[in-house]
């Protein structure tokens, strides 16, 4: 049964039908499916397919845009689930943003929701964030971790530049840094000298806890 529903969700994202995506998400939640399975088995295969079709020239920017909108609408529907469980537990302070030149934010927003759901206080700098803005935020706040999202191979160097700017500003010892996004790898993270990489939002939460050596048990997490 859930396989059928996941397929409908995947199709709604590929076809960019936001109303369908919302109602199938609602149905999945009502059926008690987890946010993780709805994301991983329903929504992600759809948005990945959209990316594939775009890269081989079988779909164009407008399709990318409407599928992105359907994905955002579906994720918003899941927000109460992803966000649940934060409660009174205060895990720490997390600063997040998409690197300079990059306006992709769906993945960053999912990471944000999951972190909040696990007790992190998150400040979101938004998209296309210049290094100066990142440095100013780190200097002014008392964040435990700064997480960068990069979705384009051409904006990955901006993550490297941000780390260099943070170091040059004398702020590197003040904060742990994480990086993520579809083209990012552990190897890239190592090369630019950050403390953590995660391939998805679920791993991102675990990594955040391990970087700050917080002791909350996985079963307590959302
Ligand atoms: C939707 C989309 C768009 C939308 C974005 C809408 C939005 N509000 O974000 C729009 C239409 C605006 C767009 C624009 C463009 N896009 Co686009 N886009 C996509 C698409 C289809 C999906 C991205 C997405 O949301 N995925 C779903 C989320 C949930 O996954 P995710 O971002 O990877 O996030 C997860 C993990 O990576 C991780 N994560 C993410 N961030 C972080 C941060 C931290 C700290 C951590 C720990 C983890 C983490 O956790 C997340 C959740 O599990 C991808 C295809 C793809 N396969 O990625 C192309 C894709 C990224 N785009 C691409 C391109 C080329 C573009 C454009 C240049 C197109 C153009 N000609 O204008 C522009 C660039 C605009 C810009 N300057 O940024 C290419 C990039 C190719 C490359 N190798 O660089 C891709 C791969 C498509 C393709 N196959 O060609 N795009």
Domain extent listing, the chain: 2-83, 92-220
The number of the ligand 1 atom at minimal distance from the alpha carbon of 182 is 33
Q: Which class is 2-83 in CATH? A: mainly alpha
- DSSP string of 64-113? HHHHHHHHHHHHHHHHHHHHTT-TT---EEEEEEEBTT----HHHHHHHH
Pick the residue whose CA is nearest to atom 45 on ligand 1: 147
Mind listing the pLDDT tens digit for each residue in 9-52? Answer: 999 999 999 999 999 999 998 999 998 899 999 999 999 999 99
pTM here is 0.95
Q: Is the CB of 95 under 6 A from ligand 1?
A: no
Interatomic CA distance for residues 182 and 131, integer angstroms: 21
Q: Is the CB of 20 under 6 A from ligand 1?
A: no
Give the CATH architecture of domain 92-220.
Answer: 3-Layer(aba) Sandwich (3.40)
Mind listing the pLDDT tens digit for each residue in 104-130? Answer: 999 999 999 999 989 999 999 999 999
Q: Is the CB of 151 under 6 A from ligand 1?
A: yes
Look at residue 95 and give its three-state secondary structure: strand
């Amino acid at each position: 049964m859930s396989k059928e529903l996941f397929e409908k969700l995947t199709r709604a994202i590929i076809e960019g039908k936001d109303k369908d995506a919302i109602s199938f998400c609602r149905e999945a939640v009502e059926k008690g499916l987890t946010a993780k399975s709805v994301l991983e088995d329903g929504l992600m295969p759809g948005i990945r397919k959209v990316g594939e079709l775009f890269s081989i020239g079988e779909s164009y920017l407008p399709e990318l845009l409407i599928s992105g909108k359907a994905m955002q609408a579906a994720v918003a529907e899941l927000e109460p689930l992803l966000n649940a469980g934060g409660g009174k537990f205060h895990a720490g302070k997390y600063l997040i943003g998409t690197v300079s030149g990059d306006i992709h934010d769906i993945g960053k927003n999912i990471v944000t929701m999951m972190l909040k759901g696990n007790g992190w206080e998150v400040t979101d700098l938004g998209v296309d964030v210049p290094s100066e803005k990142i440095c100013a935020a780190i200097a002014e706040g008392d964040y435990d971790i700064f997480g960068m999202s990069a979705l384009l191979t051409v904006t990955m160097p901006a993550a490297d530049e941000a780390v260099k700017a943070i170091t040059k500003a004398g702020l590197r010892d003040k904060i742990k840094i994480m990086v993520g996004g579809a083209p990012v790898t552990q190897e890239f993270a190592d090369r630019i000298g950050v403390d953590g990489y995660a391939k998805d939002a679920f791993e991102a939460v675990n990594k955040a806890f391990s970087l700050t050596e917080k002791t909350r048990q996985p079963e307590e997490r959302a």
